[in-house]
Every structure is written in structure tokens, then in C-alpha cells.
Chains A and B, each alone.
Chain A
Amino acid sequence: MEKILQVKDLELSFNTQAGEVKAIRGVNFDLNKGETLAIVGESGSGKSVTTKSIMRLLPEQSAEFKNGEILFGGRDLTKLSDKEMQKIRGKEISMIFQDPMTSLNPTMPIGRQLTEPLLKHQKISKTEAKKVAIDLLRLVGMPKPELRMKQYPHQFSGGQRQRIVIAISLACNPKILIADEPTTALDVTIQAQILELMKDLQKKIDTSIIFITHDLGVVANVADRVAVMYGGKIVEIGTVDEVFYNPQHPYTWGLLSSMPSLDTEDAKLYAIPGTPPDLLDPPKGDAFALRSEYALKIDMEQNPPFFKVSETHSAATWLLHPDAPQVEPPLTVIERMKKFPGSRYYEGGAV
């Protein structure tokens, strides 16, 4: 499979008055052509910062690349000048943001906001750009697109605005689309519509998507692969089935156990105890160890390397080391693993 983006050993810090906040502490992943990679994790785990660093949208004064590279089309994005990045943003890589209510310019008609990237990146006339913009609006399911070109953002609903933002991001047929929690601010029925739209469009224009979310239900719906982030690192990465039905990292177990489901009979929903690590002074070993009931002694001292579970699946936990003791995952996770061929609890059948 063709790798379109490679993130290698990425480390990034914010220089603040309190000190150096190590927001990304060695992140590795590849993005294949045409696939959807979901990045999940709690607030502050570094998922947004990772994608914003790919787009180089972080404040230049405080954000600093410490190590690693982001390879795209043979170039290292961490080393490009702002001018060169401007040619990539919106054309090769584009982005959708969390809150459609605030991500459109309130004093500019949406038509102009749509044609802006077209006029910027493609050699076309204003009339042609307008035509393309109308087609884009039609593509994202906006009724009467010709009339709506002259309207302002406040004349649209939240779902419609997110459709417009999606139309803007797709204007130049980008190779990569980064969606930073695109459905979090929308209500559930609209969420489903937007997800369907994104899946549809992905097939039509054959783009790769990095989908950031903390909603595991959304992940199951849209993603091909999942990366779980915690404390500025990826702790587990694999296909959706592998991560959902054969999870290996205790943090992934915690995440899956805290997901409400219709058939769990427990009245009380599981919550991971404790708080996320302080990235001003990150823990020496496994960042999750302090909150984990499965932590080993070595977790406190040494950072776990990635252990391969399968060709596509790996996790950074000492529990996968050959000398580690066998531990029992939480019950809800065992229930899941029973459905996964290849897991040690497999009972037959298929996921």
C-alpha cells in the first residue's frame, strides 16, 4: 500500500512561562492512500497537536519541533518555510475543525470563503471558481447552492455550516483531509449525516483522512485503522477490529470499558481513575502506569517499546513482553476478545 504520509519519532514542545510542555513525545505512524486513520484519546493526549503540527498551524513563537520528521511527498514538513507551507495547506492537505459555528468568517459571504482556496491554489478565473464552488455545495448536499453563495454563515444551521466547511476543505481535491472532531459539536442525527457524507466523499475523490475524535462509536463507523494516544504518545495502533476486539494496552482497555453500550447491564459506567499526566514533567516510564491497576514495576522506570501483536497491530506496554505475567483484562474487554479470532479468549464466530 502506498504510504502518503509518514510521521517519524515526532517530538514537539510548547515553551510556556511555566516551562517546557512536552506535548508530543515521540509519535510514529503512517497514513496509507485512501484510508481513514482515527486518532483517539482523552483531552490533552496530544491528538489535536499532532495533526496541527502536520499542518504547521501551531503558534510559531511557542511551539517547537524537538525531533523527528513528517514526510509528505518526499519533503519533511517540519523543515518547510511558511511560504512553502501555504502552498500545501488547503491544496494538498486540508482540515476540518470541531466547531462549525465559529469556523466560518462571520462577515464574509460563504461563496467568497469557498472560492478563496480555489483562486489561491488553482489558475482559474473568478467565474470558473464560482461554478466549482456551486458544484461543491451541491456535492455536500446543500439545496439551492446558487442562492446560498451570497449568504453569510449566520444564515445557516450548524450542520449546514459543517457541510460548507467540508466543501471548503475539499475544494482543491486534497491528498489528505484532517478532521479534528468534526462531529463533536453537532447533535446526533446531524452527526450521522455528516459522517455518511464524509465516507461518501472519500470514495468519490479518493483522499486519505486522519480523523480525530474521542467518540469510539464514531471510530467504529468511519475508520480503517485506529491509533490510541495517551500522554503525548501513541500507545496502541491497529485495524479497527484489532483495537476494538483484541486490545492490548491497559489504557485501551480503560477506554473501551468506559464506553456505554446498550447491552451492558451494569448501571454504573466505568471511569478511568486519576488524571492525565503533567506534560511539564512527564513520568519516566509508561505515562499511564500511575492510573493503571495492571502496572508492573518496570512501568514506573522504563518506557515500554512497541511490541508487535500482528503485522498491523502493535502496542506499547510491558505486558506484551515475553517475561511479563499474564493478567486478566477487565470483563467487558474479555467479552470483546471472545469474538476475535486469534485472541486468547476466542470462542469461535466472527466479529
Chain B
Amino acid sequence: MAKYIGKRLIYMVITLALIATFTFFLMKILPGSPVASADKLSPEQRAVVEARYGLDKPLPVQYFDYMFGLVQGDLGISINQFKGADVTDVILSRMGPSAQIGFQGMVLGTVLGILLGMIAALRQNTWIDYTSTFVAIVGISIPSFVFASLLQYWFGLKWDLFPVALWKDGFMSSVLPSVALAMFPLATAARFIRTEMIEVLGSDYITLAKAKGASGSEIAFKHAFRNALIPLITVLGPMAVAILTGSLVVEQIFAIPGIGEQFVKSIMVNDFAIIMGTTIFFSVFLIVIILLVDILYGVIDPRIRLSGGKN
């Protein structure tokens, strides 16, 4: 197991280096420069600013400078969005709200989704099942920003239950954005669990459990649930991506001072260091999630315990 994780860590570093390189050159290809937006600078002033951020050096030198800093954990300094602030500090200070709504959305979505899927499977072809299908289709087809606006309109404006867009009231402010983010994981989990539960409930070992005298709830929870979870684990990774990309927009809509909001703005103003730093941060996050998912697999399903694990 330790050997396996070690191997995976090495692959993770390689993946990250590739992502950093790719993003770096992609951004250099894009038109515009962080300095160009400040039209009022004279050519001399511009040269001074460019020299300060190393933008006057040849591209390969800039690249190696950046990668060298990255290895040391230095993501550089913000050029124009946060004028001179350390990128690592910017990301860390912005992480709190994003992590909060992301985590709440994910937990809410998966737990409700699993419940909905279980009930739908156990009451197959009844109105409960059809309702669950409907919720799932709505959750998958309506983009989170549309859903976010609807939530703002009904729960914020009309009924005045939660703030429309204000990151001031702590938990109350996080409810609507979390719900908006939860829709996709909820819908995905419900569909996966329903399909899988129905298949598992029809399998031979469930019949054997029944033949042993197990009751309906014992069959559903002791025997079927764990087996139905396996495919859901697979989509946990993509779901985390959905939460991430969803939060880029949702944070904008709800005016949450999170990473997503700051990421979108940094792209608008061409702040290279912030874009690079945030991309790398997101990549690390995703790669770690994928590793965790692979480890979770083995925990849930003994047949795919990772190589080197003890029998």
C-alpha cells in the first residue's frame, strides 16, 4: 500500500509539472499583457514595471524562473489584481469561503442524492421513484448559475429567508450557494445509486441473504448499500470537478470572496501569476481527490484492494 501511494505521488508530481508547463505557455500565447491594460504608462515606465516582474526576459528564462520558484513553493507575486501581494497568501486567504460552500454542497448533494436513489430503488416504479428521476433530470440539465439565480429570487428576494448575495452572515450566507452547488452531485448520486441498487437487489447474494431470513432493511443497508456504492465512488472525482467549476460562477453570482471569484477576475485582468497559481492549486486539489478515490475503492470493495496490500 505504501509502495503504491509512493508511486502515485511520483506520478502526481509529473502530472503537475506538465500542467504548469502547459498553462504557462498557453498564457504566453494569449494576446494581451498585465501591463498593457494600464494605458497611461509611458514606454519607459512600462519597461520598468516589466523588468520588475521579469516580463522583459526571454520566454525560456521566464519559464525556468517560474518552475524554479514553483519547486520551492513560491507561486510568485500578483501583478495587477492584488498589486504585489504574494500569490500563495492570496489563495490561502481566499480558500476559506470556497472550501466551505464546496464542502457543504458536496456533502449535502451526495447524502441527499444517495438517500433519494435508495428510496427510488426500494420503491421502484412508484411515484417516489418518478419524482426522484424528475429531480435528477432537473439537477443535471439546469446549470448551477441558473439554479443560483432562481434560489436568489425565491429564497432571497421573495421570501427573504437568506441573504441574496452577501458574505457577511457566516453560515446563513453560505446556504444558498451550497444548495446551488449541491444540485449536480445530488442528481448524479441519485441516478447512480438507483441504477446500482436495483441491479444489486436482483443479484444472487441478495436472494441468499433473503433465504437466510434477513429483513428488508437488513438487506438494503447491510448487504446492498456497500455494493451499490462502488460505481458512485468512480464519479466522485468528476463531481469534485463540477463543484470546482460550478463554484467559479456561483461565487460570482453570490459575491463570495472565494478562489473562484478571484480566479475569474484574474483572467479578465491578465494577472499571470494569479492565474498560474490558481490553476496549479486546483490541479493539486483534483489530483489528490483522484488518489483518494482510488484508495476509497479498496476500502469499500475488497476485490480491488491495491497491490501490495496484506491479505
* B301 touches A (CB below 8 Å): yes
* A272 touches B (CB below 8 Å): no
Residues 101-126 of A at the B interface (beta carbon under 8 Å):
102-108, 116-117, 120-121
Tell me if B303 and A89 are in contact (CB < 8 A).
no
A59 to B, closest residue via Cβ: B202
A154 to B208, CA, bound (A): 17
Residues 127-165 of A at the B interface (beta carbon under 8 Å):
151-152, 154-155, 165
Tell me if B208 and A152 are in contact (CB < 8 A).
no
- Pick the residue among A57, A83, A94, A104 that contacts B205 (CB under 8 A): A104
- With contacts A57-B210, A97-B204, A117-B212 taken as known, whether A105 is within 8 angstroms of B311 at the C-beta atoms is no
- With contacts A102-B205, A104-B205 taken as known, whether A87 is within 8 angstroms of B300 at the C-beta atoms is no
* A304 touches B (CB below 8 Å): no
- Pick the residue among B205, B207, B210 that contacts A106 (CB under 8 A): B205
Q: Which residues of B contact A216 (CB under 8 A)?
A: none
Mask: chain B, 152-179; 1 = CB below 8 Å from A; 0 = not: 0000000000000000000000000000
A152 to B184, CA, bound (A): 35
- With contacts A105-B223, A152-B303 taken as known, whether A97 is within 8 angstroms of B207 at the C-beta atoms is yes
Tell me if A165 and B212 are in contact (CB < 8 A).
no
Q: Which residues of B contact A117 (CB under 8 A)?
A: 212-213
- With contacts A151-B311, A152-B302, A155-B311 taken as known, whether A108 is within 8 angstroms of B223 at the C-beta atoms is yes
Tell me if B302 and A102 are in contact (CB < 8 A).
no
A55 to B, closest residue via Cβ: B211
- Pick the residue among A90, A108, A121, A151 that contacts B211 (CB under 8 A): A90
* A64 touches B (CB below 8 Å): no
* B107 touches A (CB below 8 Å): no
Q: Which residues of B contact A102 (CB under 8 A)?
A: 203-205
Q: How far is the CB of A97 from chain B (nearest CB, A)?
A: 6
A91 to B212, CA, bound (A): 7
Q: How far is the CB of A156 from chain B (nearest CB, A)?
A: 12
Interface size class of A (residues with CB under 8 A): 20 to 34
Tell me if B211 and A57 are in contact (CB < 8 A).
yes
* A296 touches B (CB below 8 Å): no
A88 to B205, CA, bound (A): 18
Residues 202-227 of B at the A interface (beta carbon under 8 Å):
203-205, 207-216, 222-223, 226-227
A150 to B, closest residue via Cβ: B311
- Pick the residue among B208, B227, B311 that contacts A107 (CB under 8 A): B227
B215 to A, closest residue via Cβ: A86
Q: Which residues of B contact A151 (CB under 8 A)?
A: 311
- Pick the residue among B204, B205, B210 that contacts A89 (CB under 8 A): B210
Q: Which residues of B contact A105 (CB under 8 A)?
A: 205, 208-209, 223, 227
Q: Which residues of B contact A38 (CB under 8 A)?
A: none
B209 to A, closest residue via Cβ: A105
Q: Which residues of B contact A155 (CB under 8 A)?
A: 311
A105 to B212, CA, bound (A): 13
- With contacts A152-B303, A154-B302, A168-B208 taken as known, whether A90 is within 8 angstroms of B213 at the C-beta atoms is yes
B205 to A, closest residue via Cβ: A105
Tell me if B302 and A97 are in contact (CB < 8 A).
no
Residues 267-311 of B at the A interface (beta carbon under 8 Å):
300-303, 311
Tell me if A120 and B227 are in contact (CB < 8 A).
no
Tell me if B207 and A57 are in contact (CB < 8 A).
yes
Among A89, A99, A104, A105: residue with most chain B CB under 10 A = A105
Q: How far is the CB of A192 from chain B (nearest CB, A)?
A: 23
Tell me if A120 and B214 are in contact (CB < 8 A).
yes
* A95 touches B (CB below 8 Å): yes
Tell me if B208 and A89 are in contact (CB < 8 A).
no
A101 to B, closest residue via Cβ: B204
- With contacts A107-B301, A168-B208 taken as known, whether A121 is within 8 angstroms of B227 at the C-beta atoms is no
Tell me if B212 and A120 are in contact (CB < 8 A).
yes
A89 to B216, CA, bound (A): 13
- With contacts A102-B203, A102-B205, A105-B205 taken as known, whether A154 is within 8 angstroms of B303 at the C-beta atoms is yes
Q: How far is the CB of B304 from chain A (nearest CB, A)?
A: 10
Q: How far is the CB of A70 from chain B (nearest CB, A)?
A: 16
A121 to B212, CA, bound (A): 9
A117 to B227, CA, bound (A): 20
Q: Could you name 28 residue pairs across A and B whose Cβ atoms are closer than 8 Å?
A: A55-B211, A57-B210, A57-B211, A83-B215, A87-B213, A89-B211, A89-B212, A89-B213, A90-B213, A95-B208, A97-B204, A97-B207, A97-B211, A102-B205, A103-B208, A104-B208, A105-B223, A107-B226, A107-B227, A107-B301, A107-B302, A108-B223, A120-B214, A121-B213, A151-B311, A152-B303, A154-B302, A165-B208
Chain A interface (Cβ < 8 Å from any Cβ of B)? 55, 57, 82-83, 86-91, 94-95, 97, 99, 102-108, 116-117, 120-121, 151-152, 154-155, 165, 168-169
Q: A89-B210, A117-B213, A120-B213 are in contact. List 4 more A-B contacts (CB 8 A).
A: A57-B207, A95-B211, A107-B227, A107-B300
